[in-house]
Amino acid sequence: MLPFDTLITIDKTLSVSVYQQIANQILMLIKNGIVKSGSYLPGTRELARMVVVHRKTIIAAYNELSAQGWITVIPQKGFIVVPNLPEVQPQQWDQQKAGFAYESSMPSPFYKTNQYGVIPLASDTMVHELIIDDGHPDMRLAPMDLLNREYRSRLKKVQTFKRVSATLAAGSFNLRETMISHMAQTRGLQAQASNIMMTHGAQMSIYIAASLLLKPGDNVIVGEPGYFVANQVFESLGANVIRMPVDQDGINTDLIATACQKLNIRMLYLVPHHHHPTTVTLSPQRRMRILELAEEHNFTIVEDDYDYDFHYSSSPYLPLASGNHQNRVVYIGSFSKSLSTSIRIGFMIASADFIAHAVHIRRLIDLKGDHIMEDSLAALIENGDINRYLKKNNKIYKERRDHLIKMLDTYLKGIVSYEKPDGGMAIWVKFDPNYPIEQISIKAAKQGLYMNNGKLFDNNGVSYNAIRFGFASLTLPEITKAVQIISSSLVLTLQPK
């Protein structure tokens, strides 16, 4: 018999369980040919004595190997390594083409996106100690322990997996049912489960809604400056993107009315709370005017309310979707902003017929979401954990917003300008034109700070020389250090008059 007591070593300091260590080492002995196919392994009692563990540990290791198909039990004889090992090696079918590697271009034509929409996939070799995002939550504060608790409890339930896959395309029914009361209590929305579809984040909702509403040549109105990724979606669908200026009260409704007189408008994309990127909030007067125009000219409003939950200075206005919109509003939101960007759970609320077609499109690109995660989120909403978490984080994010303002005034006074937002997770910071962000971002990166170069928001030759400074994901010391790095990276380039 092989000396298993020397061939198998156990390290109890490892995170890998002892039975798994034993199974892994026996597996390597089999793969390396030390333990041959058709040979018998020691009995559980004997191997337990040799490696000095409990017999149940050996039974668990053998069960693991058996489940993977490496060994089998012969009654009255013991455990034998199977004659035909389960390790399947692929067969090479073309000797001449062996070892071919993908290159940078495809010889056959394909429909390419607009060049500005292509994101390079080269690996980032520079490590950034700090990152200024455009307004993300701090995942270090997210109640991941509570969410994981609910997730694990559902993994143990057999009935969790006994669901027809097609029924999950709209999302977990438990979560959609929970959303009915949650939306009513927090946003004044009246909806049923048939009016709700869960998605992998708000961006998927935007794409699906636009796919149903727009065809090549259709006109869609957006704010300027605006959410560039949404604009890219509309342009990729062949729509004409008509940009309307955004001021301190939100998108200009007088100009929308003028456009409706001249053009057939199919859709208005709107971010009423903390407009992206400027963070301004649409005034009540303009909200009412937009609903009037939608009814008068029969266009659909896609209301992107991505961070409704975060308000610091005043109570939020109810969404347009809570008003009398005659089913002309498609309401989009996300739990990714409330929890963590790694939790990709968004939602779309609209008329039942619209949702039914939206579910069909979703199934073409993504058969279903993670219904276990969605059920877990539903549990946190029902037991009040989400509301408690949001209340605590609102206080933390308000403190971070105020600290960022203090740091901007201390280190960048006279160089940047901004309007203090009443909520959200970012401040729209505009730099003096003599201090180009593109050059500042390069110098900041060398000091370990990543910040975008501001080009994302520029359009048709207009340079805003501005960034969305996300404060929510940074602690107070991190905010201080980030602003200090920017201050030390200032590059003065006098612009020609």
pLDDT in tens, 425-437: 999 999 999 999 9
pTM comes to 0.81
Q: What is the mean pLDDT of the chain?
A: 89
Residues paired with residue 429 on neighbouring β-strands, in sequence order: 467
pLDDT exceeds cutoff 70 at 497: no
User: Could you count the other beta carbons within 10 Å of the beta carbon of residue 4?
Assistant: 18
Q: Which CATH number fits domain 4-81: 1.10.8.870, 1.10.10.10, 3.40.50.1820, 1.10.150.120?
A: 1.10.10.10
Domain 130-136+388-488 matching CATH 3.90.1150.10: the answer reads: yes
Residue 5: its pLDDT value, please? 85
Cα–Cα distance measured from residue 5 to residue 389, given in angstroms and rounded to the nearest whole number: 52
Please report, for the chain, the start and end positions of each structural domain, with discontinuous segments joined by +. 4-81, 130-136+388-488, 144-383
Do 130-136+388-488 and 4-81 fall under one CATH topology?
A: no
HSE value, Cβ hemisphere, 13 Å, CA-based, for 283: 11
Is the distance from CB of 410 to CB of 297 less than 8 angstroms? no
Cα–Cα distance measured from residue 305 to residue 275, given in angstroms and rounded to the nearest whole number: 9
Q: For the structural domain made of 144-383, what CATH number should be given?
A: 3.40.640.10
| pLDDT classification of 1: cutoffs 50, 70, 90 | confident
Residue 96: its pLDDT value, please? 62
Residues 196-232 pLDDT 10s: 999 998 999 999 999 999 999 999 999 999 999 999 9
List the one residue out of 206, 191, 201, 197 whose CA is nearest residue 170: 197
| pLDDT classification of 383: cutoffs 50, 70, 90 | very high
Residues 112-143 pLDDT 10s: 666 555 555 544 555 678 999 999 999 889 88
Please tell me the least confidently modeled range out of 19-23, 55-59, 101-105, 449-453. Answer: 101-105
